[in-house]
Structure 1
């Protein structure tokens, strides 16, 4: 009887040890870095813009219907639910993303510095060319200053800071092309905007070079989406000439400008890789990913709303800047999951899910994320959308895992205590 009991105890302890090791390793082997920092625009803003006073609390993203799909209330995301980065970061092992201005950044290992409506170039540049940008916008330079302030608040020495930076993934999210859209919407011609498109690239490369100089070994630089397909551009820059539109109904010349800028960025990234051969520098091709998404929708049952906003008012594209989503005169579609565009400027959760799935595979391979094959199980996050309970489970997965680790540790400690007690008892019997 004693032998059986002892054997059972050893078996239980062994099982608990295996479970514990598995639980810990399942987190640590997802990707070979422990921190994530993201600068950018409204594509990735998860609560910073609404925290900027006095403008933030009055912004559309601070009120319903933003967040109506998930979690049923506004979170500061410019969407009906989750963003692309929410899904992608969770797959990389970062289920909780903290907005820098949210108040808890010092204790987070995944921080979003992105602010909706923010350009790459600084406010002075736009003042000089006579272009207005939102008063709450924070340029890339300002976001970089936030990051440097944060990193120096969590490390004690220069070497410690360099180690933390080296153990991080940096993303620079100039996806909305605000540096291009603001001037276009305020009367600047495509030819005029083209002249300083390269300045945007130089600023992005400069920021990437700066974090690499601080010790960064992994950087993602995304290209712009084809904004010529977006309802707000299609509405504000509409043309009466059919030849100005491509086969998908997008404004061809606007997208040509985006392609020009993206090509310049890719060429600059190629040079940066030569300059820093030991650094992983990945180009996230949002343009092609979005084209894939749009082609899927235009060839499917939802093609009639492929270029329309879910939340908006009036016109061919259900977009009117004077009746923006959230205003009393705007209306909400019955099912955001059937739409690509949420408010005419930003995407729905369903579209974000699909984009994330398309972009993850290449990024995971480049970043040496060893569980990339299993992480593409998020493929079910497609244009059809998700149920709230599934999303809650996704967000709570790390909480559950931590609880499991705590229980396993408790049982393992108990096993060791019991083992020690039995050894002491045997020793006393011998005496």
Structure 2
């Protein structure tokens, strides 16, 4: 009976994904990743892509309870959104089931991939951040630990068969998004932008080492996403609010915070070019999450979002942007907006189901030409 229910859910997900993405210019409803031959996906990262690992470490976190998941799931799954994440829409495009969280007991589907991402995770280990007087308060499952999990998983479940190489040739490895929390924790604890900017080379080096390890595991197609325009997020717009109009750009995003993300992304892209030279037989693609998010902000009307509330949290309370660090989404008394489909931000930090779908569509269209697909 459980298998039947799971199969019905999977079929429903594919149908819903097709219907939802039909309105998107990127047309992921055509199963573009499936046509490209992607049969397996492995995910490393943080809350942007965690499908349930943090809630196994700490069942009390807010993403473990309603209203998280309310748009799509009957119960909260640990996804930090009202519905699906970017990686969920990737699996729909590949005609795969949603990725199981690695820490789930008895994962349902091993052949289609695995999710090692943990909400709150950092690129740098906690002890390295501590040496810089930065705490990692949510989890110690940083990128290096996730890679250890992947190594253990591969040794026990994937690469002990003769068709391992064939599987990896049809596999997509998502190395991130990761690194955003390294900067978040530093900024939220009073570090200056100049101090945080000094973290960028170390964070990018950790991501490079992760990509190198993944290549060592046999990866042949890798996407390494960059950071988002954090200066456009309700959390940052609230915490760094200023009366200086010159601090904001034409989309009312904080310029200096976006410049930090741009600096990280430029450094990351340069590092990926170096990796491509070292591994010419591996397809290494930069995931431009920054541009995908900005595209949504620049097209709020045509995409069906409400321009008046585009930079307000849907689930939140307080101030101009409906966000308060002391009363976050999921805590008692914090309301949810009447129509989440009009909002880009779910809780001030993470995006809504609808925004995630549009970003996934944009990103898939952007990365596919670089994937060297062999269409049937």
**In which range does the TM-score fall when normalised by the shorter chain?**
0.7 to 0.9
Distance (whole Å) between structure 1 residues aligned to residue 167 and residue 107 of structure 2: 15
- Correspondence for 1:260: 263
**TM-superposition CA deviations, 1:231-257 (whole Å, max 9, x none):** 111111222211111111111001101
CA gap 1:120/1:198 in 2 versus in 1, 3 angstroms: same
Distance (whole Å) between structure 2 residues aligned to residue 202 and residue 309 of structure 1: 33
Q: Which of 35, 40, 48 is the aligned partner of 2:40? A: 35
CA gap 1:343/1:28 in 2 versus in 1, 3 angstroms: closer
- Please show how residues 175-190 of structure 1 align to structure 2 within 5 Å: 177-190=180-193
- Correspondence for 1:405: none
Return 66-75 or 254-263, whichever deviates more.
66-75
* TM-aligned CA deviation for residue 216 of structure 1: 1.5
Q: Which of 322, 333, 338 is the aligned partner of 2:337? A: 333
- Asked whether the equivalents of residues 231 and 307 of structure 1 are also in contact (C-alpha less than 8 Å), the reply is yes
- Correspondence for 1:76: 78
**TM-superposition CA deviations, 1:138-196 (whole Å, max 9, x none):** 11000000000100001465976555544422111125711111101101111111112
Return 352-361 or 153-162, whichever deviates more.
153-162
| Structure 2 residue 252 is matched with structure 1 residue 249 | yes
Distance (whole Å) between structure 1 residues aligned to residue 108 and residue 84 of structure 2: 23
CA gap 1:285/1:28 in 2 versus in 1, 3 angstroms: closer
Distance (whole Å) between structure 2 residues aligned to residue 156 and residue 177 of structure 1: 31
- Asked whether the equivalents of residues 37 and 375 of structure 2 are also in contact (C-alpha less than 8 Å), the reply is no
| Structure 2 residue 324 is matched with structure 1 residue 320 | yes
**TM-superposition CA deviations, 1:54-103 (whole Å, max 9, x none):** xx211111111111111232111111011111111211232331111112
Secondary structure of the residue that 1:57 maps to in structure 2?
Answer: coil
Give RMSD over aligned pairs: 2.3
Distance (whole Å) between structure 1 residues aligned to residue 289 and residue 335 of structure 2: 29
Distance (whole Å) between structure 1 residues aligned to residue 49 and residue 43 of structure 2: 8
Return 131-140 or 268-277, whichever deviates more.
131-140
CA gap 1:27/1:273 in 2 versus in 1, 3 angstroms: closer
Return 235-244 or 119-128, whichever deviates more.
235-244
Distance (whole Å) between structure 1 residues aligned to residue 372 and residue 120 of structure 2: 32
Secondary structure of the residue that 1:87 maps to in structure 2?
Answer: helix
- Correspondence for 2:18: none
Q: Which of 239, 244, 247 is the aligned partner of 2:242? A: 239
Distance (whole Å) between structure 1 residues aligned to residue 327 and residue 33 of structure 2: 47
- Correspondence for 2:221: 218
CA gap 1:199/1:253 in 2 versus in 1, 3 angstroms: same
Q: Which of 224, 227, 230 is the aligned partner of 2:230? A: 227
Distance (whole Å) between structure 2 residues aligned to residue 123 and residue 61 of structure 1: 22
Q: Which of 272, 275, 280 is the aligned partner of 1:277? A: 280
Distance (whole Å) between structure 2 residues aligned to residue 72 and residue 157 of structure 1: 37
- Correspondence for 1:205: 208
Stretches of structure 1 lacking an aligned partner (at least 5 in a row): 1-25, 373-431
TM-score of the two chains, using structure 1 as the length reference: 0.75
Stretches of structure 2 lacking an aligned partner (at least 5 in a row): 1-30
Secondary structure of the residue that 2:175 maps to in structure 1?
Answer: strand
CA gap 1:39/1:266 in 2 versus in 1, 3 angstroms: same
Bigger CA radius of gyration = 1
- Correspondence for 1:50: 55
- Please show how residues 40-119 of structure 1 align to structure 2 within 5 Å: 40-52=45-57, 56-105=58-107, 107-108=109-110, 109-119=112-122
- Asked whether the equivalents of residues 120 and 174 of structure 1 are also in contact (C-alpha less than 8 Å), the reply is no
Query: How many pairs are equivalent?
Result: 344
- Correspondence for 2:171: 168
**TM-superposition CA deviations, 1:91-145 (whole Å, max 9, x none):** 1232331111112348512211111111111000111121121243411000000
- Asked whether the equivalents of residues 29 and 370 of structure 1 are also in contact (C-alpha less than 8 Å), the reply is no
- Correspondence for 1:348: 352
Q: Which of 135, 138, 142 is the aligned partner of 2:141? A: 138
* TM-aligned CA deviation for residue 44 of structure 1: 0.5
Return 159-168 or 75-84, whichever deviates more.
159-168
More helix by share: 1
